[in-house]
Structure 1
Amino acid sequence: MTVTHAGPMVPAANVEDAVELVRARGLRVSAARRVVIEALFASRGPVSAEEIADGLGGRTVPSDVGSVYRNLETLERLGLVRHFHLGHGPGRYALAGDEAREYLYCESCGSTRAVDPAELDAVRELVRDELDFHARFTHFPIAGLCRECVDEEDQPHGRSATADAARPRGEGSRR
């Protein structure tokens, strides 16, 4: 089935609102689709299809990761979900209610931080005024180094092997 994007992002307040929005668009809410919706609401930040398939939200998705991707794509076309990429990793998905957020991504530890778009207005204005370009940071977050990684790199010997081994790469989100 092909679902076309029905217009602007449509934030849902909770799981039941999202389920009703899916039904209102003429689609069935399968058990797998509901679990994907629940997982998105349970997450504390953008998540990958793999994280959802691994049981994010306290339940096991009764399908493979391909089914999770298909459900996420459908929810995105409906305007309930948006996706973007962090570095070279898989797409990350967030609820449309998170549309008002933009993300900073640490290339060293893989953490993400949500920021209010207004905090980046000065950057957008600089790019517009100096380069005659209207920047949007919605599909790709701003990549760089978080404060902790900058502090570690500023140490005389750089990051230790122990710190590197203890730091998760691209798992979860720090806000």
Structure 2
Amino acid sequence: MTKRTVYRFQANSLKDTTRLAEHLSAYMDQGAVIALDGDLGAGKTAFSQAVARCLGVVDTVNSPTFTIIKEYQGRLLPFYHMDVYRITELEAEELGLDEYFYGEGVTIVEWANRIEALMPAERLSIYIENLGPVERSFLLVPSGEKYQNWCEALKENKLFYDPDKLE
């Protein structure tokens, strides 16, 4: 089993969270999948909203907790926002989520660990840890060459703090 590299981004404000979204969204293309996890209130939806804005979504983006999936049109790509907290893996499978994962847009899945077996092997997994009122730690784990390249490019631009070093 290959050891995965973990990248850390420290956000001391919502502006920092938006900065991470801006940098990542610059790489997002058709079929990009972001798996978001973290405790309640960690900022999964805030991060998703920031990505949507960066992709040119003009509609209000809110949590799809009860609708499971919301579709938006961005400037160049569709944006698919999912929240799978309230469904089982079997229910998720019946929804045909893979059509989104391998579709024409960018997909963000909140609570992705709940449907781990259905998630594409290649994706960017992000765990958001709540450190205080506005402070967050983002742990990024790329799976697949494309996502590894994204993170390495951001590391080169000194976006990450203490890459590869988790305390």
**Smaller-chain TM-score bracket:** under 0.3
Q: TM-score, structure 1 length as denominator?
A: 0.26
Q: Which has the higher contact order (CA 8 A, sep 6+)?
A: 2
Q: TM-score, structure 2 length as denominator?
A: 0.26
More helix by share: 1
The higher radius of gyration belongs to 1
